[in-house]
Structure 1
Amino acid sequence: MERIIRRTLLAKSSAARRYARESAAKIAHKRLRRSQYDSLLRDHKKYVQKIRSELIEDVKRGPLAPIRGKDNKDRIARDLPTADAMRLPDVVEPRKFFNIAVGDRVVLLNGKDRNKVGVVKEVDVDTDSVKVQGLNVYPIRTPEYFEGLDGGDAPGMDQECNIPYTDVRLVHPVEDPKTGILRDAIVKKVKISDVRKDVHGKRTWTRWIAFTGTEIPWPKKVEPEYQDEQCDTKRMDAEERTYVPTLLKPPIPEGVIDELRGKYSKFRDRHDREYIEQKMREDEEEKAMKKARVVTPLMDINRKIRRDKIEKGKTQKLTGDILEQLGRTMAQSETPFLKERSKRAKILEEIQRQEQAGGFGFRPALGQLPSRNLEVPSSSSPPPPSAPPS
């Protein structure tokens, strides 16, 4: 069962790291898209200005105007961008409070339609932009199958393009303190209050003009009128009750529930009782197999050595005598670090210590051990300490 829990934790941590990498990559991609869109918009504005200057030049020259393309259609469709290219990229961090809704009156601060007031036609929270009806219109290249639908053969059409949220301001009528007449005013800053959520989790709030007591009401939504067609389903057929649950069988089969909740998923941290009992039995069997395993004297010695190391590391402290002995050894060996003894030397020393203490029930004969295991290199044993000078 411990392996299952460890596997779940590792899977969750790896998924979190992967999600962090993907989020960072998405943010970098959004920033790149934003820079690409800015450069595309600048090129498009230059192209529109160039077309206008060419048209003015053609009107002035008359029959002496140069031939710039095969025909008027080819000239218009030369470098027109598509609708997807003119779409703003997604923002890195969405705005917390989007204070502009469909139906609001706004004024443009930048662009060719600067200082013009229009009605918001569409709101795009993902790109942090709005579309104003009849403003910021640019020619957009349309697909070939669109040509001729409106009675013309032009390869492009005028379409409202998205305007960044920072390039528009709300326009709301405010009473003049001198005359008492309502006049339109540009709202520089909007104050928010009474933030609340409805039963569906949708967040709403109240808009105010900052530093005043004037409330900006939300525009009323106009419900579209629908007409019934032959292909539409009738209401009486849609509301007809075709399933009646009974107590004889569950509404959803048990196998479907296991598939929906991911019974064999590695991210699952809640398991059935039968599954837990099975894993506990497997753990008990594994522990029993480890206990029943044959332990050789060499394994027992290594186990004792490791236990002694742990105990010495916890209790032993470096005293003055030990530090002095370490310094002498390091000075004689001419190395800044004390060489570690080989593992074979430790095993032989442990065997000798056990034999001197009375043994532990096992005394190997010299003929039973290989001769190479009994050879102790001279460099592994530290030299005897020299007597201090008198």
Structure 2
Amino acid sequence: MTLLSPRPDLWTLDPEVLHLNHGSYGAVPRRTQEVLAALRTEADANPMAWFRSVAARLTASRLELASFLRTDPAGFALVPNASAGVTAALATLPIRAGSRIVLTNHAYGAVRYAAERFARLHQAQVVIVDVPLEADDESVVALIAPHLDNAAALIVDQISSATAMVFPIAALVEVCHDRGVPVVVDGAHAPGLIDAPAADGADFWTGNFHKWPAAPRATAGLVVAERWRSATLPLIVSWSEYDERLPERFDMQGTYDYAPWIAAPESLRVLDELEWPVRRTQLSATIDEGAKIVAKALGTGIAQIARQTPTMRLVELPSTVDLTAGEAIKERVSRDLKAEITLTGFDNRGFIRLSIHAYNSLQDYQSLADRLPALL
């Protein structure tokens, strides 16, 4: 297998900064930025003509994005982000008074807030299931299953943002459906990391294209099982309210900026140029080694996760680091070390969550390791 070289040339990232946190906000390739800028220029040159053209362009973009996910385009709608997708799913499900909305302790904060909002609206209860980092697939299912009685829904990460842990979606869908419990999958990090991420039969799946596919931000997808499509509505009531087709119902949200959704397929073409399936495997090996370098410099270790995602690793912080000062630490690292990282906490342990894309090299992690211990 040919060893692929890093391609920072495809991005416009500041070369004076170590960009080690692609998993939060992504980074848009130069070519996609150019397409996006041209679309916005066109829109401002003749807004009337632009909005007449939007519907057809969105249809073309949706078909490409659905094909990338290997999912049925009739059940695939565009949304601004995975949090919006989860919210649309919860707004669709019949949540009975006294029922449970079940999550795990890996759930993304905004998703937990959404569950709490809908639980309040329907006099339901939010149940959080503790799942250790080290739990294998069988253990994950065994831990969640006892909490499914009287559940209105299970909301589960496909890849946890906080811990980079991959959850056994197919097995969870099976046990939930055996009990008549709908499943909402938060696949925020899944596109580009899991092939056919929406193929496991969940009632709702949602994921972001701005992370590993490197599409413009505010581009995400919502995949809806056929039984729920007629009832699933966009969060904004607009002119497509009565469209019988799910994707088109979500397309036209008034004067929303549609340019990111239309430009997104250009990033998929960049992934093709990067030989993404091969590169993803090589990036996994690189971040394995990079995480070891950083952990050794800090005198700590790497979180042992039964199923971890290819492009993210958790390096444990020294016990002397105050997790409540996390934002201040990130700002100091950015200002003093010219490095962008993120910190995460789980089960009273603090971690640096490192993530990698095609613009990174092993030297980036060595550079962080050389300078970070003195700052912490």
TM-score by length of structure 1 reads 0.17
Greater share of helix residues, 1 or 2?
2
Pick 1 or 2: higher relative contact order, CA cutoff 8 A, min separation 6: 2
TM-score by length of structure 2 reads 0.17
